[in-house]
Chain A
Amino acid sequence: MSQLSREECIELGLSVPTGPLIGWATEQLAVAKGREARLERRGVTAPFLNEIKMLIGMVAELRSTLVKEKATLPVELAKVQRIREEAYAYWQEAKQIVKVEFGTSPEVQFRSRLGVRTGRLLANLIREMECLVAVLREHSTQLSWLGADEAFVNAGGELIGKLKEAQAKQDEASKSLSPALAEQCVEKGKLYDLTRKLVRIGQLEYLHEPEQAAAFNYTLLRKELRAGSEVRAKTIKAVVR
């Protein structure tokens, strides 16, 4: 059901800690189980939910095996995630700047690709950053009153360079993973992707019932990931001001 390649699944798997991923997927599965009749209308049937359940079991089992074998992830990967989070924070800020200034100009919004979701894949984020930084540069005079001055645009350019470097390091590290670790990452990536789809479908089915839709979310997963990101985002902000 996933449209992601094995390599993309490994990258996703590497980017998400196992504990919060299992917790989040288990929670979303429970949310869906109370709402099966409605979700079936949007193609979420028993096999879809069973697949999530099976992946949760598999990821948990692989984690136990890896703990016993004392297998650990390469240290470079932590640095890669930090750079991705910094760049993601920058991208969010840049998108909001474009929304403010060009909020009534659909064609600039379209060119800025504001509706794209990069997920957690570096290649996606690099492409979107390149596109958006080019728009910021092109409209720098018009955008400087919002803080998108030369320093801000240059910070974006530097982050793109760091992201590319990080991507190369990550590709190397992924290739050198032990087969058991690589397998766990694939399963984690698949679990992340399927649970994300479940969240989006839940939000679709309950689009006009906000209280119900709110049950489908990323809160549990993001809680653990957020703390570090906020510190880094503030650092970037301070640097570019």
Chain B
Amino acid sequence: MSTLSREECIELGVSIPNAPLIDWAEGQLAAARAREARLEHRGIHAPYLKEIQTLVKTITAAQAGLARTSAVPPAEVVDAQRIREEAFAYWQEAKQIVKVEFGSNPDMLVKFRLGVRTGRLIANLTRELDCIVSLLGAHSEQLGWLGVTDTFRKVGEVLIGRLKEAQSKLDSACKALPPAVAELCFLKGRLYDLTRKLVRVGQLEFLREPEQAAAFNYSVLRRELRAGSEVRLKSVKSAVR
């Protein structure tokens, strides 16, 4: 069902710590089970939910079988995640600036590719950041009052360079993973992808019932990832001011 390649699944898998991923997937599975009849209208049947459950079990077992040292991600992976988070925060800020200035100009919103989601894949983020930073440059006069200074754009360019470097190191690190760890990451990537789809389908089915829709979310997963990100975001923010 996933349209992601094995390499992309591995990249997703290395980007997420095990415990929050498992907790999140189990929480979403429980939310879905309580609403199975409605979700069936949108193609979420028992085999879909069973696949998530099987992945949760397989990952838990695989993790237990790996030596403690194998559970620690390589330094390149940790660095790549840090850079990805910084770049993602910058991209969010740049997109919000565009929304403010061109909020009533649909063609500009399309040009800046505001509707694209990068997920956690560095290649996607690099492409979108490349696009938005070059457009910020082209429209810098109009956007200056919102904080798009030369420094802000340069920070964007630096981040693109760092992302490219991080991607290359991450690719090498992923290729060098022991087969069992690579397999675990692959399964984690699939679990992330399937659970994400479940969240989106839940939000779709309950689009007009916000209290129900709220049960489908990323809260558990993001809680652990957020703390570190916020510190880094503030550093980026203060650096460009």
A residues neighboring B (CB under 8 Å): 2-4, 8, 41-43, 89, 92-93, 96-97, 99-100, 103-106, 109-110, 112-119, 124, 127-128, 145-147, 193, 196-197, 200-201, 203-204, 207-208, 230, 233-234, 237, 241
Contact = CB atoms under 8 A, between A and B. Distances in A.
Chain B contact surface mostly: helix
A31 B31 CA distance: 36
Contact of B103 (A97, A197, A234): A197
B103 A200 contact: yes
18 contacts: A3-B105, A96-B204, A103-B197, A104-B8, A106-B127, A113-B110, A115-B112, A115-B114, A116-B110, A117-B106, A124-B106, A145-B42, A197-B100, A204-B97, A207-B89, A207-B93, A208-B237, A230-B208
B169 interface: no
Given A146-B201, A207-B93, A208-B233, A233 B112 contact: no
Interface in B181-203: 193, 196-197, 200-201, 203
A69 to B, nearest CB: 31
A43 B43 contact: no
Given A100-B200, A237-B208, A43 B109 contact: no
B41 interface: yes
Given A96-B200, A105-B3, A127-B106, A115 B208 contact: no
Contact of A207 (B3, B92, B116): B92
Contact of B106 (A92, A105, A113, A146): A113
B195 to A, nearest CB: 12
Interface residues of B, number: 48
Nearest to A114: B115
B96 A119 contact: no
A104 B115 contact: no
Nearest to B121: A104
A118 B237 CA distance: 30
Contact of B42 (A2, A146, A204): A146
Contact of A113 (B96, B115, B196, B234): B115
Chain A contact surface mostly: helix
A203 to B, nearest CB: 6
A100 B106 CA distance: 23
Contacts of A113: 106, 109-110, 115
A99 B117 CA distance: 9
Contact of A99 (B8, B200, B230): B200
Interface of B: 2-4, 8, 41-43, 89, 92-93, 96-97, 99-100, 103-106, 109-110, 112-119, 124, 127-128, 145-147, 193, 196-197, 200-201, 203-204, 207-208, 230, 233-234, 237, 241
B207 A4 contact: no
Contacts of A234: 208
Contact of A42 (B42, B92, B114, B147): B147
A207 B99 CA distance: 13
A204 B100 contact: yes
Contacts of B114: 114-116
A208 to B, nearest CB: 5
Given A109-B115, A110-B116, A193 B104 contact: yes
Given A3-B104, A117-B106, A104 B112 contact: no
A96 B207 contact: yes
Given A106-B127, A193-B104, A204-B100, 20 more contacts: A3-B105, A93-B204, A93-B207, A96-B207, A103-B119, A103-B196, A103-B200, A104-B3, A112-B115, A113-B110, A115-B109, A116-B106, A116-B110, A116-B115, A119-B104, A146-B42, A147-B41, A147-B43, A200-B103, A208-B89
